[in-house]
Amino acid sequence: QPQKNRQWRKFLSTVWEIKFSHDTKKVIHSIKVGIALVLVSLLYLIDPLFKQVGENAMWAIMTVVVVFEFYAGAMLSKGINRGIGTIVGGALGCLAAILADDCGKIGNAIIVAVSVFSFGTMATYFRMVPSIKKRYDYGVMIFILTFNLVVVSGLRADTVLMLARQRLSTIGMGFAVCIFINLLIFPMWASDELHDNTSSKFHKLASSIEGCLDEYFGKAEGDKENQHKVYLSGCKSVLHSKSTDESLANFSKWEPWHGKFGIMYPWGKYLEIGEILRELATIILALKGCINSSRQPSQSSRQSIRESCEIVGLSLAKMLRELGESILKMRKSRARVLMSPKLQSLKQDLNLHQKIKSLENEENIGVISFLFLFTEIVEK
């Protein structure tokens, strides 16, 4: 009985740990959304407030649900887009409605239909332009929505201006709640995520290189297949990180000054580093293919090049880790002066063995691209 109890408790603590290490952020985010929703529902629940805003409180709830994103930057970008889209759409809609009001009943309907069609078509086309799509897609959508609602109901409600003002103020309230909750309670910065990701990529690539070496010189034992998959997947995740990186960098641009990042922080540099790391990942994957090729020499003939390969590979891995570390801690890599000559001598080491195997050739390219990468980082 106590045994079972202990097992149960252990199970619970494991679950708790997993949740806490892996999912904490998600749980915190969920709770934040819950709090924001309750706060914004108070507009309905508290009588004096409801008398002020009326049914327009709906728009505050809608704003919170739609705008509250995981990353602070994503939320700010969506909220600002929504705000500007609403204002511009509302203003143009009012203009069109006033213009249409002067004509007769039929003329009015025709003007409204034409303006709905033309603005809708143009704005939709606008939405699909890549540079607009990347940053302002949501804003343009809200513009279309608001414009249509305003111009169409302008026919019905004479108080369209008042309506627009009220809606805007409730949207503002909703957004204020979002900002308050999202930025003040455990904010999740997209910039932190991008920063950590970039640093962890170096580590992933370093362990991939080590994994390749281990596999080639037959050091790995036990469940080789499994280990093999682990470092391969690390490499592949680096290779396919492009779209994640881009959206994170996009969000980061919207985030205000915080923590260790200043205003006008060079987010583009992270994308460049990512690009170079992806190239390195390509080379490592190809090296992987070489190793698995059926035409590799026997184990004994591999041993002859083992030493120099390991020196090169391990110091490459070590350097990568150091670079990752220095990016994480944002210090000018002190090792810079040490590394460049080291890389040169490594290259010469490899040159001696150059004619032996294609493996070397590969790794040397790794070194070269690594030099590129290095200059890039130092530049920052």
Q: How far apart are CA 120 and CA 116, in angstroms?
A: 6
Question: Which SS3 state, helix, strand or coil, does residue 329 take?
Answer: helix
Give the residues across from 258 on adjacent strands: 261
Judged by CB, which is closer to its own copies: 32, or 195? Answer: 32
Which of 44, 227, 265, 315 is close enough to bind its own copies by CB under 8 A?
A: 44
110 or 330: whose CB is closer to its own copies? 110
129 to 148, contacts with its own copies by CB under 8 A? Answer: 141, 144-145, 148
Locate 255 and state its tokens: 């985030």
Q: How far is the CB of 12 from its own copies (least distance, A)?
A: 19
The answer to whether residue 368 forms part of the interface with its own copies (CB under 8 A) is yes
Q: Per rule CB under 8 A, is residue 286 in the interface with its own copies?
A: yes
Nearer to its own copies, 328 or 365 (CB): 365
Asked if 322 contacts 246 with a C-beta cutoff of 8 angstroms, the reply is no
| 358 contributes a contact to its own copies by CB under 8 A | yes
Q: Indicate the residue among 62 and 335 with the shorter CB distance to its own copies.
A: 62
- Output the smallest distance, CB 325 to its own copies, in A: 27
**Closest approach of Cβ 240 to its own copies, in Å?**
5
Binding-site size, its own copies (CB under 8 A): 67
CA pair distance 202, 37, nearest whole angstrom? 40
Helices 242-254 and 267-292 sit at what angle, rounded to 10 degrees? 170
User: Which CB atom, from 164 or from 326, has the smaller least distance to its own copies?
Assistant: 164
Residue 78 burial (CB < 10 Å; 0-12/13-18/19+)?
A: buried
Does 52 participate in binding its own copies (rule CB under 8 A)?
no
- Closest by CA to 234, choosing from 274, 276, 196, 202, is 202
237 forms part of the interface with its own copies (CB under 8 A): no
Q: Does residue 352 interact with its own copies by CB under 8 A?
A: no
**DSSP-assigned letters across all residues of 24-60:** HHHHHHHHHHHHHHHHHHHHHHSHHHHHHHGGGHHHH
Tokens representing 163 are 């309506």
Q: Does 345 bind its own copies (CB under 8 A)?
A: no
**Region of 222 on the Ramachandran plot (φ > 0 left; ψ -120 to 50 alpha; else beta):** left
Contact between 291 and 313 (Cβ < 8 Å): no
Residues that bind its own copies (CB under 8 A): 26-27, 29-31, 33-35, 37-38, 41, 44-45, 50, 55, 57-58, 61-62, 65-66, 70, 109, 112-113, 116-118, 120-122, 124-125, 128, 141, 144-145, 148-149, 152-153, 155-156, 239-240, 242-243, 279, 282-283, 285-287, 289-290, 293-295, 351, 354, 358, 361-362, 364-365, 368-369
